[in-house]
Every structure is written in structure tokens, then in C-alpha cells.
Amino acid sequence: MFLAYKSNRLRKNIQSDTFGKNSDMSTTIRKVQEADFPQLLELFREFAEFQKTPERMTNSLEKMQQEKDFFEAFVAVNEQDKIVGYGTWFFTYHTWVGKSLYMDDLYVSPDYRGTGLGQRLFDSVRQVAQEGSCNRMRWLVSDWNINAQEFYKKIGATLDHTEMHCELVIK
């Protein structure tokens, strides 16, 4: 079962250099901890607003705590210990290519966009895929989010317009 995959190498912190729009802005990227859940929920809501679908964000602190064994993420933490970005993922198996990693979300707060933080979060998730011997990474990008599409193209991803995202809510 791929969901149980853990790596001691992934538990290390990835320290950043000072960068970005303000010369005093620096962040640390690290694995998520349960104590991060309340801050992450706020960012999930922020991301849902950004995606123009706030009504679809139904997660809760209780649900996250109950389902924590299924939740994998890196968080970007600023010098004030505020989470300003995250990348979430899970392992899956695709019939055509085998073991894969699905990046569920990659989100950076507006004040930290354009600083390289999205690239660093993406690279951290990609490292999980590489260390996990995955054959492919897969994720979605909104058709209206041209900035994200250009970012993904720049790092070598292909955008596949032949498939549509399907969803079924299970209660």
C-alpha cells in the first residue's frame, strides 16, 4: 500500500535562502505536523476562494485529525512561524505506467507568489516521487489559471487537454 510510504530522508527540513519581493522574506519547507492543521485549514479556505469554489471546501479540523494517516504535505513556514504555502500528495497506481504520485494541491499565499516558493514546494514533492521510485507525477491545473499553466510548462510538464476531471461525493 503506497499511502503508508514514509522516508526518513523526507523528514529533514529544507532551509531557504533569503529571497523574494522583500529582502527579509525567508521560509523553511518541512513536512506537515498535526499542529499545523488549523493554519492549513485557513489556507485551504484561501485556496478555495482563489479557485472560485469556496462552497466545495468542506474539510474540518476534526476530519483532518481523524484522517491524518492519509494526509501527506510539505508546508512553507515564514520567520513568524506562519504557514504561507503547501504542497499535498498521495501515492497511487496508474494502470498504464504503474506507481505514481498525485499532487493534490500546490498553493502559495498571494504575498509570497513570485518568490520561488512554489518552485521549492514543487521540487520537494517531486523529490518524494523520485525517492519513492514513482514513474510519473500527475496533478490538475485550472483552465483559467494561465500563470500556473506557464509555470508547469516551464518545468517540463505536459498539459493534457484530452481528459476531464470527474468527481463523485460519497457520504
In a domain, 167, yes or no: no
55 or 2, which is more confident? 55
In a domain, 117, yes or no: yes
Give the domain extent around 111. Answer: 2-154
* Active-site pick, 86, 102, 107, 152: 152
In a domain, 69, yes or no: yes
Percent of the residues in the chain that have a pLDDT greater than 70, as a whole number: 85
In a domain, 165, yes or no: no
In a domain, 15, yes or no: yes
Please indicate whether residue 152 is annotated as part of the active site: yes
What does the alpha-carbon distance between residue 149 and residue 129 come to, in Å, rounded to a whole number? 20
| Closest-CA residue to 59 (of 41, 79, 81, 37) | 41
Please report which confidence band the pLDDT of residue 165 belongs to, taking 50, 70 and 90 as the band edges.
confident
In the β-sheet with 72-78, what is the strand arrangement from edge to edge?
A: 14-15, 27-31, 72-78, 83-94, 98-108, 136-138
Number of domains in the chain: 1
In a domain, 171, yes or no: no
Please report which confidence band the pLDDT of residue 1 belongs to, taking 50, 70 and 90 as the band edges.
very low
What does the alpha-carbon distance between residue 122 and residue 88 come to, in Å, rounded to a whole number? 10
Q: What residue has cell string 484522517?
A: 67
